[in-house]
Chains A and B, each alone.
Chain A
Amino acid sequence: GEDVEQSLFLSVREGDSSVINCTYTDSSSTYLYWYKQEPGAGLQLLTYIFSNMDMKQDQRLTVLLNKKDKHLSLRIADTQTGDSAIYFCAESPSGRRALTFGSGTRLQVQP
């Protein structure tokens, strides 16, 4: 995950919005992804965005992509305690047959 960077920790209150940020380095990535990992479990795909899009909204989730700055963000509206997890962003560089993951951001939601 050395090419994809995320902050390690974010704490929010229940009902607030959460914004998790990610920077990536490979501008050839066609898709960028957000995964969620609950304790002791595998990763679950939350959403993804095609590289020619600036924004994608899916219910409480909003993904923003700034290709110029290679910056990706995930906004979770009305954050709930069930949203507490580790969130990973991932890129799909061309010429590489596997995703490259960031180090993950641990989201803690306080009641």
Chain B
Amino acid sequence: DGGITQSPKYLFRKEGQNVTLSCEQNLNHDAMYWYRQDPGQGLRLIYYSQIVNDFQKGDIAEGYSVSREKKESFPLTVTSAQKNPTAFYLCASRPSQGPAPLTEAFFGQGTRLTVV
């Protein structure tokens, strides 16, 4: 079955450590996205990538980094510079690139990161 896989589902990190969240898709989608979800605040865009080896900052990119070396993979690193990293992180992908209209975005099941 095609889909988006995020791992791990739960992640604990000590303060001062970097941690990488995995996102893999086998839908052959060009575009991939990372969102952060906090209670009562909806989803905020961290980074997105329209094509391999290219990515753009979203609204809250500070303290995060990404790479897009393969079409299927878009890992997110939460660095020690991110002051409040505890949140639910969602990865998404969609099939087409280019100008609007956007087509359906498919979401992974999320990773809950907790800083201890």
Could you tell me which A residues sit within 8 Å of B by CB distance? Answer: 1, 4, 8, 30-31, 35, 40-45, 48, 50, 88, 92, 94, 97-104
Contact = CB atoms under 8 A, between A and B. Distances in A.
Interface string B90-116: 101000000111101111111010000
The interface residues of chain B, by DSSP majority, are classed as: strand
A45 B40 contact: no
Contacts of A97: 31, 48, 50, 56, 102
B101 A30 contact: yes
Given A45-B104, A94-B100, A101 B42 contact: yes
Contacts of B108: 42
Interface in B16-55: 31, 33, 35, 40-45, 48, 50
Given A41-B110, A97-B31, A92 B102 contact: yes
B109 A42 contact: yes
Given A42-B90, A97-B31, A92 B100 contact: yes
Contacts of B45: 98, 100
Contacts of B50: 97
B63 interface: no
Contact of A92 (B6, B101, B110): B101
A107 B4 CA distance: 26
Contacts of B85: none
Nearest to B98: A97
Contacts of B102: 30-31, 92, 97-99
A44 B101 CA distance: 19
Nearest to A94: B100
A43 B100 contact: no
Nearest to A102: B42
Nearest to B99: A94
A1 B107 contact: no
A41 B42 contact: no
